[in-house]
Amino acid sequence: MYTLVVCEKPNAARRIAKALGDARETRVAGVSVFDVDFQDKHYKVCSAIGHLYGISDGTKNRSVYPVLDLEWASIEGKSRVINVISRLAKDADSFVHACDYDQEGEVIGHSILQYACAGAYSKSKRAKFSTLTDEEIRGSFASLQEPGAGLAEAGRSRHLLDFIYGVNLSRALAQSFKAGNKGYRNLSIGRVQGPTLAFAADREQEIRLFVPDPYWVVTADFEKDGQVFSARYEKPKIEKLAESQAVVGACTGKDGTVKAVDRKKIPLRPPAPFNTGDLQREAYRLFRVSPGYTLAIAEKLYLRALISYPRTSSQKLPPSINYRKILSGLARSSLYSSASLLLSKSRLVPHEGPMTDPAHPAIYPTGMFGKLSGLEFKIYDLIVKRFLATFGDAAVTERTDVAIDVHGHLFVAEGNVMLYEGWTAFYKPYARIEQAALPELAAGDALQNRQVAMEEKFTQPPPRYSQSSLLAKMELEKIGTKATRADIIATLFKRKYLEQKRGGIEVTDLGFAVVESMRAHVPDIVSTDLTREMEEQLEKVEQGAESVAVIEYAVDRLVGSLEAFRQGAQEIGLEIGAASKPDNVLGACPVCKTGSLRVIRSKKSGKRFIGCSNYAHGCRASAPLPQKGIIRVAKACKCGWPIVRVIFARRAKPWQICTNVQCPHK
Which region among 421-430, 517-526, 568-577 has the lowest average model confidence (pLDDT)?
Answer: 568-577
- 33 has a pLDDT exceeding 90: yes
Is residue 182 exposed (0-12), middle (13-18) or buried (19+ Cβ within 10 Å)?
exposed
Spell out the residues 6+ positions from residue 643 whose beta carbon is closer than 8 angstroms to its own: 633, 634, 635, 636, 637, 656, 657, 658, 659
Confidence of residue 14 (pLDDT cuts 50, 70, 90): very high
Contact 65, 52 (CB under 8 A): no
Average pLDDT over residues 539-551: 82
Q: What pLDDT score does 237 carry?
A: 95
pLDDT tens by residue, 546-574: 888 888 888 888 888 888 888 888 888 87
Q: Cα-flanking dihedrals φ and ψ of residue 389, to 5°?
A: -65, -30
Sign of CA dihedral 585, 586, 592, 593: positive
Nearest to 610 by CA among 575, 569, 567, 657: 657
pLDDT tens by residue, 597-646: 888 877 777 788 999 988 878 898 999 988 877 777 767 888 888 888 88
Confidence of residue 267 (pLDDT cuts 50, 70, 90): very high
Q: What pTM does this model have?
A: 0.82
The pLDDT mean for the chain works out to 90
Residue type present at position 97: H
Give CA–CA dist 97/85, Å, rounded: 13
Give the SS3 label for residue 492: helix
415-420 LR contacts (CB < 8 Å, sep 24+):
415/229, 419/265, 420/393, 420/395, 420/396
Element (H, E) at 4: strand 2-7
Give CA–CA dist 522/569, Å, rounded: 11
Confidence of residue 485 (pLDDT cuts 50, 70, 90): very high
Average pLDDT over residues 377-395: 97
**Pairing relationship of beta strands 585-588 and 71-74 according to DSSP bridges:** unpaired
Nearest to 82 by CA among 121, 122, 50, 41: 50
Q: What pLDDT score does 263 carry?
A: 95
**Strand runs (DSSP E) across 459-607, as ranges?**
498-501, 504-507, 585-588, 596-601
Contact 18, 5 (CB under 8 A): no
Q: What pLDDT score does 93 carry?
A: 95
Give the SS3 label for residue 141: helix
Element (H, E) at 34: strand 31-38
Q: What pLDDT score does 576 carry?
A: 81
Spell out the residues 6+ positions from residue 332 whose beta carbon is closer than 8 angstroms to its own: 367, 369
- Domains of the chain from N-terminus onward: 2-147 (3.40.50.140), 157-208+466-574 (1.10.460.10), 214-270+395-458 (2.70.20.10), 276-389 (1.10.290.10), 582-658 (no CATH)
- 154 has a pLDDT exceeding 60: yes
Q: What pLDDT score does 531 carry?
A: 85
One-character DSSP codes across 581-646? SGGGEEEE-TTTSSSEEEEEE-TTT--EEEEETTGGGT---EEE--SSSEEEEEEE-TTSSEEEEE
Q: Which residue has the higher pLDDT, 615 or 37?
A: 37
Q: What pLDDT score does 635 carry?
A: 75
Average pLDDT over residues 156-181: 87
pLDDT tens by residue, 67-91: 888 889 999 999 999 999 999 999 9
Nearest to 534 by CA among 281, 166, 108: 166
- 585 has a pLDDT exceeding 80: no
CA dihedral 354, 359, 361, 367 (to 10 degrees): -170
Give CA–CA dist 214/347, Å, rounded: 54
Q: What pLDDT score does 175 carry?
A: 86
Give CA–CA dist 116/79, Å, rounded: 10
Contact 589, 596 (CB under 8 A): yes
Give CA–CA dist 425/306, Å, rounded: 23
- 647 has a pLDDT exceeding 80: no
- 589 has a pLDDT exceeding 80: yes
Give the SS3 label for residue 455: strand
pLDDT tens by residue, 300-351: 999 999 999 999 999 999 999 999 999 999 999 999 999 999 999 889 999 9
- 582 has a pLDDT exceeding 70: no
**Strand runs (DSSP E) across 491-565, as ranges?**
498-501, 504-507
- 383 has a pLDDT exceeding 90: yes
Confidence of residue 580 (pLDDT cuts 50, 70, 90): low
Q: Which residue has the higher pLDDT, 68 or 366?
A: 366
Is residue 28 exposed (0-12), middle (13-18) or buried (19+ Cβ within 10 Å)?
middle
Confidence of residue 5 (pLDDT cuts 50, 70, 90): very high
Which residues does the annotation mark as catalytic?
309
Average pLDDT over residues 441-445: 95
Q: What pLDDT score does 651 carry?
A: 54
Give the SS3 label for residue 457: strand
